Chains A and B, each alone.
Chain A
Amino acid sequence: MNSIEEKLWNYIDGSCTPQEQAAIALLIEQDEVYRQKYTELLKLNAEFSVMELDEPPMAFTYNVMETIRAEHARQPLKAAIDQRIIKGIGLFFVFTISAFLIYALANINWQAGGVSLHVPAALSAPGIKNFFAGPFMKGFLFLDVVLVLYLFDTYLRKKGLAKMNTNVQTSGQQNQQKD
């Protein structure tokens, strides 16, 4: 701490240690220079505290909310959908394809007896033919339908809320104009 002023500002702000605070309080009490400067700074501090804030235009909030709504309306569908859902679907397909590949490779007859690799004419993959008509595929399709319904519901809810907000905003503006 260097100057008297700096010490006194720290005292006024309460940003010095209790020991420093006690020492400065004593100086203010005993030293005339400190007392005068302290009174001057206190007055200045009170003056700074009553500074006025600037008032933004009347339609400020409305303009902000309009910009946000316009941005929402412009947002493409791919940006509106939760990225986790897309990643989940992607992962599911990667997993399914990998499972098929592993299953197929495991069933190939790898006989390295001759020069050429002997691959059986008919790949033995029992169950694959019936796979698409089986309960697994039905379950997958059912999950897809549920997912679509959920997304549609979310979309309708958001649309309803936006409409409600617009009504509230419009009625608020009308009230402001009346006032």
Chain B
Amino acid sequence: MQSKLSDIELIEQTLAGNQAAYADLVKRHQRFVFTLAMRFAKTREDAEEIAQDCFIKAYRSLDSFQRQAKFTTWLYTIVYTTAMTALRKKRVDTDSIDDENTFIQIENQTSGYDVNDAENKSRSFYLNQAIAQLLPDDATIITLFYKGEQSLDEIALTMGMEANTVKVKLFRARQRLKEKLERNLKQEAKELI
């Protein structure tokens, strides 16, 4: 059962020394932070490591949170920079992070979902599959916009870009996602025939 207190109230309690309040904050945001980490990592283990690292970093610098922006915007900024650093470290001697083909093998598996069961394959499954095939930046913008309740300005703050750049990137990301979704569905239809 999660606390009904607001993020700011939980932060205040954490700063007063109540670690249980921070545990509530982690529980509240862990799914989204983990999803964002999955947009960059190749495996669930790597994503878990990135997500944990983010929450630990956030805890360490909680007293520097200015409360001018939403806590989530601040937290997602940490996630974005941590994930980018982790990705660069992993990829430094392999291939470019701008190469789309690098990420094709990533599979988004949601818990309690049998990916091998053809009957369970819904549009949502194909959507997650298509998102996993996008570049990390595209997938992050799409996720922040549709599931993170972030405005274009807030996404710009998170990713350290201009709001207009984010607007253009979101448009392109949606186009790429649409193409990949259609291609995956066509491929599946061919396999069934």
Contact = CB atoms under 8 A, between A and B. Distances in A.
Interface string B161-182: 0000001001100110110000
Contacts of A114: none
Contact of B52 (A5, A48, A67, A161): A67
Contacts of A158: 17
Interface in B140-193: 142-143, 146-147, 152, 167, 170-171, 174-175, 177-178
Contacts of B167: 10, 15
B147 A68 contact: no
Main secondary structure of the interface of A (DSSP, over half): helix
B51 A48 contact: no
Interface in A1-45: 5-6, 9-10, 13, 15, 44
B101 interface: no
Interface of A: 5-6, 9-10, 13, 15, 44, 47-57, 60-61, 63-65, 67-69, 71, 157-158, 161-162, 164-165, 168-169
Contacts of B59: 68
Most chain B CB neighbours (cut-off 10 Å) among A10, A61, A67, A71: A61
B34 A55 contact: yes
B128 interface: yes
Contacts of A60: 26, 30, 34, 48, 51-52
A54 B17 contact: no
Interface of B: 17-20, 22-23, 26-27, 30-32, 34-35, 38, 44, 47-48, 51-52, 55-56, 59, 108-112, 123-124, 127-128, 131, 142-143, 146-147, 152, 167, 170-171, 174-175, 177-178
Contact of A68 (B19, B30, B131, B170): B19
A73 B193 CA distance: 61
Contact of A64 (B55, B123, B170, B178): B55
A68 B18 CA distance: 12
A6 B171 contact: yes
A179 to B, nearest CB: 11
B146 A68 contact: no
B17 A161 contact: yes
